[in-house]
Amino acid sequence: MVGWALWALRRRAAQSLRALRASLWRMGKRDRLAVRTAYVTLRDLPGSRVMFWVVDECPYCGGRHFHPAGNLRTADPGERLGEQPAMCDPGLTYELALPPRPRKKGGKQERRKERREGKRDGLDEEY
């Protein structure tokens, strides 16, 4: 229970910090009209055929926003990716983009190499 509470506290603190940074960024001298990137996930509305792109952390306000992606059966949700007006302030725009994919782990050859090096290190210590 304590681990979960600590995780929740850290998450809230991180979200507050992001919101503070976003507001400070808007107050600064940077170009307010610059398009910022918002990473999205595709979700469907249970009990209906509607899909939404969900912006978990808005680059401007730090909040969660929903953008309709179309009908579950007929629409191509990829068409709605790209530059969209922000839900918190329609005067600002951001680019809806999929989050970057994680890097691939090392291949089979790298794992074998590490295992061989580990065996050699173990033999050297015994003698």
pLDDT above 60: residue 64: yes
Q: Is 119 helix (H, G, I), strand (E, B) or coil?
A: helix
At 44, is the pLDDT very low, low, confident or very high (cuts 50, 70, 90)? Answer: confident
What is the per-residue pLDDT for 26?
61
pTM: 0.54
Q: What is the mean pLDDT of the chain?
A: 78
Q: Is 84 helix (H, G, I), strand (E, B) or coil?
A: strand
What is the per-residue pLDDT for 9?
72
Q: Which residue has the higher pLDDT, 97 or 107?
A: 97
* 70: enclosing H helix or E strand: strand 65-71
Cα separation of 104 and 101, whole Å? Answer: 9
* Torsion angle (degrees, nearest 10) of CA 42, 48, 49, 52: -30
pLDDT above 70: residue 124: no
